[in-house]
Structure formats: C-alpha cells, structure tokens
Amino acid sequence: MSNKSQVRVRFAPSPTGDLHVGNIRTALFDWAYARHTGGKLIFRIEDTDKERVTDQYIQAAIDTLKWLGLNWDEGPEVGGEYGPYLQSQRLDIYKTWTEKFLNQGDAYHCYCSSAELEERRQHQMKNHQAPGYDGKCRDLTTQQVADYKSAGREPVVRMRMPKGETVFVDAIRGEVKFEHEYVPDFVLARADGSPLYTLAVAVDDILMKVTHVLRGEDLLSSTPRQIRVYQAMQVAPADYPIFAHLPFVMGQDNAKLSKRNGEVSIAWYREQGFLPEAICNYLALLGWSPGDDKENITMAELVELFTVERVNSSPAKFDIKKLEAINGDKIRALKLDEFLDRSLPFLLSAKIISGSADEIKVLKSALPIIQERIVNLAEIPQMLNFLFVKDFTVSPEELPKILDDASQQVLKVALAKVESLTDWDHQSIEAVLRKALIDELGLKPRIAFSSLRIAVTGSHISPPLFESLELLGKERSITRIKAVISK
C-alpha cells in the first residue's frame, strides 16, 4: 500500500463519550500499520465541539489507548513538531486557511438561513432532486451582499465544488469515483468562524504530513470534499494521503453496530474483565485476517503480519461469544504472577480482600484452579468470595436446594467421611467422597456433589469442589456442612 518514504498515519477521534468498538478497531489498524512499516502514529483530538467533547472524554480516550497498549509517536502527552494536537488549539490555523480560500475565490460567503436551506431541501425532495446546496450565494452582487449585511445576517463560508468528478484509488476498495453533481458546495466554517470537520481534518492531515488515512467506511463520502480542500491548499496530487476505508462492523442482526444491537464502550469491556490483548486480538479479526485460519495472535504477531492489502472490504460481524472465547484463551495463557496482578483490582474493588499477605498467599493457591474456568476477570470475585468471607451464609436462593431429605442425607454421609480424614488434600478428599457417595450410595456425580458444593461455597457455580475444600481447610469446611445440616 505504501509509496511514501515514511508512513505517517493518524487516529483522530472526536470523543463525545467513551471510545467504542469502531473507534478502537480504527486505532488498532492505524497502530499496527505504523508499527509494521516502521512509521509514525499521530494521535489527534477533534474537539472543536466543546459542548460535546469534554476534557473528561479526552482524558478517557487517552487512558483507553494506553490501557490497550496502542502507544502513539506524536500527540497529547507526547508532543511533536507538528502540534498542537488538539484542534481547539489550532483555530487560528483554520481561520488563516479559510481567509486564503476566500481570497483565492475557492470559497465564498453564504448568507442563506437555516430555514431557507430547509425549505429548498424540501422542495428538492418533493421534485425528486438530489438534496443539497443549490449555489444561491455563489455569485452574489455587491448590492446583495450589502443587503444581507444590513439585515444582520452572519455568513458561513462555503467551498466551491467545480464541475466534473473526483476519482481516487482507495487502498481497500480500488478506484472510487464521485460525480460532483452529487457533492454540492459545502460549509468550511460556521458564522462564528469555527471550522467544520471537512476543513479541519483536511488542513491537519496536510500540515501534519499524514501519508495514509485508515478510517471507517462511513467517512468515504467525505473524501471528495477533503480532496477539494487539498486542491485549494495547492497541494500536488502526489502529496495527497492514501485513503483506506475500513469495512463497517455489524451487529448480529446485520445492522451497523450500535448501542441498540449490543455495542458498548471499551470502558465497559475493561470493567467486565476483558484483557486488552484479547480485545485487540479480536478487533484485528474484524475485517482483517492473518491467514491460515489463525485467530489467536499476539500484538507482536499483529505488527509482523498486518498489511492493508489483507483488509476485506466486506462488513465484519461483531460476536461477543467469540471475543469471550479469545479472552478465555488469553487468561489461560497468563503466568500465575501476571494472572494475580490482573485479578487483584477486581477483588479489591469488590472488597473481597484487603490485600494482606495472608490473603495473597491463599489467592495464589486459588487462582490456578479457576484459570481454566473463567472467560473474564470480573467472574473472579464471585468465584473466590467463599474463601475470604468472614460471616459465611448460603444465599436464600441456593439454600432451598439443599434442605430436602436427599440432600441432607448426602451432606451427613459426606460430613462423616471428611471428619475422619487425616490428610486434608484434594486427592484424599475426592477419593473418600467418591467412594462413599458414588460407589456406595450409587449417586451420579452431579447429584452427589451439588449439595456439598452449595454448602461449602454458597453457590452451585464454583471452582472445582475438591480443590475448594482443600483451600477452605478442614475446620471451616466441616463447620459449613454442619451449619446447613442443622437448618
């Protein structure tokens, strides 16, 4: 894809909330391409809409990229020679270019009111015409301008679209053509002088020497407008960025991914205990493939293998079940100390532990027995709560399941057997209970052990039973079984 001396890509969100799946997929591809080519990743914030893009959301975007490991070479907290990297700090730059475009005749002042524009739009639609600006203010006389000004009208600035067409080669979609009759004159700056997206993004990409623009397919239609700005800036076509429009991410209902069909912010996935490397691994597969049906990849492998040529133009479907499967694989691949470090914030936040040395010792023994059973870290507090809770009780929802005669009989037999044990390890516990409950009573394992599991852990969902009993200790295990029998 690259025919530039050094690749310079940019991730330029307008964070009006937490970053979502689509944002991060774009950031990931930008990052991977920059790292694969030895290029630079620019992180730029589009924050000219100060009512919606708050400092809080900007900081959240920075924190999210850091957590995911998507480091940038220029941008907030890093700096760089082409800054500033917040558009709100570049307003004078946009104003200068707007004035230049006006002086060159590439742009003009438009005095049409919103009501007039809407009225003409309705007329166009009624007459089956393509809706868009009709050029009313393109060639105003001096007197018409004076009349508008005397009426107190404040103009926007519009770019003139010439007759003809815009043709460019998209690195994913091939040649793309836009007829200008469907690309009407567009607004560059509002009446208060503030820039619109099409002006700011095009000016910034040129001034920051961006060589490749990887972004979502939804922005494909804005490309001829940006190219028109490049032309007005008198940039040679060879110096235009190369565009690569990434495929849509769809929900399971085949509609574009949105809050309605399951998309939530990356912050939500973080809170639910998804690992950053699992999120990146899964999002990399949405529209791109490393080949050979390979799905479990590391960040290093992504950097090595990523090329834009392998990005598919067809929509990708988001499947949280597949993300969970990849997350489970990544959890199982963690070494114990790393698994401990990842788990601690969830246990501390849930107030399951305080972080004492004794608790950490128990935790290091307990984590290996749940590592194969969980798909996200948020499951850990519920899984291990029984080991640390001070005043243990079986929940009211679970208790009725073990108060019937059959369950009570199982618990009494189990109690007698474990009380007689001298070696308290999971192998000895399993041997004596299997002999008594399965071989002698003839029970199926699920029936034999479910009531005992609830009695000692408080839930029918828990780590492996015999290992749980070993970790809990003989005294506490017996106390809990007796408490349920006494009820």
Catalytic machinery residues: 259
**Bridge partner residues of 110 (DSSP):** 156
Q: How are beta strands 242-246 and 212-216 bridged, if at all?
A: parallel
Closest CA to 50 of 21, 99, 91: 91
Instruction: Please tell me what DSSP assigns to residue 160.
Output: P
In whole angstroms, what is the distance from residue 78 CA to residue 175 CA? Answer: 36
The values of phi and psi at residue 10, to 5°, are -135, 145
Give CB contacts under 8 A, 24+ apart, made by 71-80.
71/31, 71/41, 72/11, 72/31, 72/41, 72/42, 72/43, 73/34, 73/40, 73/41, 73/42, 74/40, 74/41, 74/42, 74/43, 74/208, 75/42, 75/43, 75/44, 75/45, 76/43, 76/45, 78/43, 80/42
Cβ proximity of 111 and 155 under 8 Å: yes
Cβ proximity of 371 and 344 under 8 Å: no
Cα end-to-end span (Å), the chain: 72
List C-alpha distances in Å: 239 to 71, 206, 207, 322.
26, 8, 11, 41
Rg (CA), the chain: 31
The structure tokens 């990005």 sit at: 311
293 marked ligand binding residue: no
How long is the chain?
A: 487
List CB contacts of 375: < 8 A, sequence separation 6 or more.
324, 325, 327, 328, 331
CA 207 distance to own-chain centroid: 29
List C-alpha distances in Å: 236 to 7, 138, 159, 224.
18, 26, 19, 15
Sign of the dihedral through C-alpha 197, 52, 70, 245: negative
Helix (H) or strand (E) holding 317: strand 316-317
110 marked ligand binding residue: yes
280 marked ligand binding residue: no
112 marked ligand binding residue: yes
Cβ proximity of 430 and 439 under 8 Å: no
Torsion of CA 52, 56, 61, 65, to 10 degrees: 180
Closest CA to 196 of 76, 55, 87: 87
In whole angstroms, what is the distance from residue 36 CA to residue 428 CA? Answer: 54
Return binding residues for Zn(2+).
110, 112, 137, 139
Return binding residues.
110, 112, 137, 139, 259
